Amino acid sequence: MAKTVIIDEFGGPEVLQLRDLAVGDPGPGEIRIRQSAAGLNFIDVYQRSGLYPNNLPLTLGMEGAGIVEAVGEGVSHLKEGDRAAYAALPPGAYAEARVMPAAHVVRLPDAIGFDEAASAMLQGMTVEYLFHRTTPLKSGDTVLFHAAAGGVGLLACQWARSEGITLIGTAGTDEKCALAVEHGATQCINYQTEDFTAKVKEFTDGRGVDVVMDSVGRDTFIGSLDSLRTLGMLISFGAASGPVEPFTMSDLATRGSLKVTRPMLFHHFEKEGACQEMAAHLFDKLESGAVKTTIGARFALDDIRAAHEAMEARKTTGSTIIGM
């Protein structure tokens, strides 16, 4: 048996229920992992609310770390007793233990702790694909990154600095802006007090940035388009403020032949070996010290509702982890 967070209906944090569930043994291609920590991410909120629909009942959580307890037939890259971490489908990381597909679970280097891994797998590999797999980026390029003081944002600030990329961040308070700059943002704009589009044009001598990375969605989308240079790209990878409202293709043409994409991490995993490659790249950044995780809050599994409430109220900075 394992304590597990599950929902029977979509809704607010009140739908999160903690239950004791049987775990079972792994089948072919599966492992059973006893978890030390899980990561909290906005995708969990989207799934809980029904914005990203799933079949019910549903166990939430997309990333975690712990010890492999058992290995099913056909699994060769992991063995019982291995330290392991993952960002993977299906959801289910909010649990003391779980059985799950092994393909997207990776062996964790000894130098990286469980809390660090649980706070970095989903967010870190998201940053990896944003900077290396979505559109070509090189040293000297400019990026506008919204929510730069969040878990993904602080990793992105450091990643950009390590790659020689100029990152302009946005955040909702002066304190969060200072945190983003401390982690590698060249500038950070308080969008509560300043027009971020105007400031971006000021910082880039009227040119605009090469790429915008936007996980906010509805509230920032048009401003993000207007922050781009001619032929620039908007990477929309989340919708914390709500879904992007309809726009026309001519909106892209008149603003400078812009490009827009809506990628998802797990589509990158469809290429054989990509998950392991992306994790190895992330681990290299962590082990070298070029990127460090910032754990802003830690909640017990029993306090999962409070964790969701804090994230939705924008009261968190850095990564939030759930301890088992």
* pLDDT (tens digit per residue) in 238-292: 988 989 999 999 999 999 999 999 999 999 999 888 999 999 999 999 999 999 9
* pLDDT score of 294: 86
Residue 307 pLDDT exceeds 90: yes
Residue 91 has pLDDT above 90, yes or no: yes
pTM to 2 decimal places: 0.91
What are the tens digits of pLDDT across the range 140-179? 999 999 999 988 999 999 999 999 999 999 999 999 999 9
**CATH number of the 2-123+266-323 domain:** 3.90.180.10
Domain ranges for the chain: 2-123+266-323, 136-262
Summarize the confidence of residues 198-212 as an average pLDDT.
98
Domain 136-262 CATH assignment equals 3.40.50.720: yes
How far is CA 321 from each of CA 159, 166, 205, 222, rounded to the nearest angstrom?
21, 29, 40, 32
Helix (H) or strand (E) holding 132: helix 114-132
Residue 321 has pLDDT above 90, yes or no: yes
Beta strand residue intervals within the chain, DSSP E: 2-7, 17-21, 30-40, 58-59, 63-71, 83-87, 97-101, 105-107, 142-145, 166-171, 187-190, 209-214, 228-236, 259-261, 295-300, 319-323
Q: Provide the pLDDT for residue 310.
A: 94
**Residue 81's pLDDT band (cuts 50, 70, 90):** very high
Average pLDDT over residues 284-311: 95
Please determine, for residue 53, whether its predicted confidence score (pLDDT) is greater than 90: no
Determine contact, residues 171/149, Cβ cutoff 8 Å: yes
- DSSP reduced 3-state for 115: helix
CA 286 distance to own-chain centroid = 16
Give the C-alpha separation, 133 to 146, whole Å: 19
pLDDT(314) > 90: no
